[in-house]
Structure 1
Amino acid sequence: MKKLTYLFLFVVSMMLFSACRDQQTYADQKNREHAAINKFLADSAVNVISEEQFEAQNYTTDVSKNQFVLFQSNGLYLQIVRKGTGKAIKDGEHVRVLCRFTERNLLTDSVQLSNVIYPLYSRFVETMDISNKSGTMTGRFDKKSSLMYTFYGTTTVPTGWLAPLRFLNIGRWDSADSEIAKVRIIVPHDIGQSNAVSAVYPCLYDITYERK
């Protein structure tokens, strides 16, 4: 009976040790992620502003001052390079949106994916179906025209890609005065694409959004 008791305690202690080890490993990964983000902010002389200042500036960021707004709820950093000359996606509206983007892994400081700088992938215009439900954006990549789906195997649009949409005007390039919405975002792993989620790394994105 004592042997069974000791065995049980040993198994439980090993399980607890393993859990603690895994938790510490994840904590280490998150620390590396935070360090990578902070390094980029410092190296790029980013001027981080609060959500209150962002609101006071009519939900814009001053690119000349290299402003990024930090959203405390999810850790997203957002710079609105161009707000766009189209219309905001209204509540209840379903829109097909076309994107050009470059994805950089901040942990390795390397470009992972782009339909802008890589000629091989330039024919892929990232296509997303976006819905606005009571201010919450959801989206799915079109399997037939999506590098993100091709490389990461899911049609679900990351939260990090969706978050800027409520501050943008999504339109078409239909005149000389048209301006396609563009953002630069730092996306922590937990609101990023599937590989970033599993490997725990942040990504820097440059993304344009155009209404189809």
Structure 2
Amino acid sequence: MKRIRLFVTVLAIGTLLFQSCDDSKTYAELRDDEIDAINAWISTHDYEIISESEFYAQDTMTNENQFVLFDESGVYMNIVKKGQGTSVLADGSYSILSRYFEIAMQDRDELFSLGDTLTGNTNLYNYPLYFVNSSWSLPMYMLHPEEYKLTIDGDSYSAAFTQSYIMYSIYQTTSVPTGWLLPLRYVKPSRTSSSTDVARVRLIVPHAEGTRNASRYVYPCYYEITYNLGK
């Protein structure tokens, strides 16, 4: 990635987007730019794109640099690790814990550049400590993942953040991006502290399936996300 800008306050993205949105382009033009950006990203990273039928023929698994395109949503997914659960989640409610990072897939004026890290909640090693309450500690988002309540009812998947250290701070909504939920139809999350066993995916998420800002300002994001079961 060219540069890393981890925005951890509302002003970092929210205010800038409101002040700097390019009103000169129509939605159709912004959408064309988004499609071009996605195609350029795929070409640059030499991803192999497969259809949903090919994905199902492979027992809903992808190879190392292979992404399945879901036509209805426009989301591309690569499953890195399915997880240690016995099966995909059935109907019901679940606490899901996720670590993630969100990467800009195109340049957007003065807001961000291609390859910038827009937000993220990852447990990084060798991160500088903060002096709080007479002791040195990691920031809260390093200690705790994003937590949300997932509800599954047949083909309906919905989720809302119940404990968010980054997503709510930045985007000011408890709604979990719908693009985050699609992998939960295929991965098998469990309760694990092992980074090698946790369910993990890579995603290309177009604006309509992304965050509130992505949807409003029409830009795609690349994600790497883990899924763990909470209590």
Q: 2:122 aligns with which of 106, 116, 124?
A: 116
The amino acid across from 2:84 in the alignment is T
1:146-161 equivalences under 5 Å are: 146-161=165-180
Q: Deviations over 1:159-185 (max 9, x none)?
A: 1000110101010116x7971100000
The whole-number CA distance in structure 1 between the counterparts of 2:142 and 2:25 is: 41
The whole-number CA distance in structure 1 between the counterparts of 2:144 and 2:218 is: 27
1:1-212 equivalences under 5 Å are: 25-63=26-64, 66-86=65-85, 87-91=87-91, 93-107=92-106, 108-109=113-114, 110-116=116-122, 119=127, 120=139, 121-142=141-162, 144-173=163-192, 179-212=197-230
Identity of aligned residues (%): 38
| Structure 2, unpaired ranges of 5+ | 1-22, 107-112, 128-138
**Secondary structure, aligned partner of 2:99:** strand
8 Å CA contact retained: 1:102, 1:117: no
Q: Deviations over 1:74-104 (max 9, x none)?
A: 100000000111142112x111010000000
8 Å CA contact retained: 1:115, 1:123: no
Query: 1:146, CA displacement in angstroms?
Result: 3.6
**Secondary structure, aligned partner of 1:88:** coil
Name the structure with the higher helix share.
1
Query: 1:38, CA displacement in angstroms?
Result: 0.7
Larger Rg: 1
**Secondary structure, aligned partner of 2:143:** coil
8 Å CA contact retained: 1:85, 1:180: yes
The whole-number CA distance in structure 1 between the counterparts of 2:196 and 2:209 is: 30
The whole-number CA distance in structure 2 between the counterparts of 1:72 and 1:34 is: 13
Bigger relative contact order (CA 8 A; separation at least 6): 2
The TM-score, its normalising length taken from structure 2, stands at 0.76
**Secondary structure, aligned partner of 1:185:** strand
| Structure 1, unpaired ranges of 5+ | 1-21
Q: Deviations over 1:97-146 (max 9, x none)?
A: 1000000011132110111276543134110100110132110011x434
The TM-score, its normalising length taken from structure 1, stands at 0.82
**Secondary structure, aligned partner of 2:103:** strand
8 Å CA contact retained: 1:172, 1:178: no
Moved over 3 A (4+): 117-121
The amino acid across from 1:159 in the alignment is T
- Structure 1 residues 187 and 177: CA distance shift in structure 2, 3 A: closer
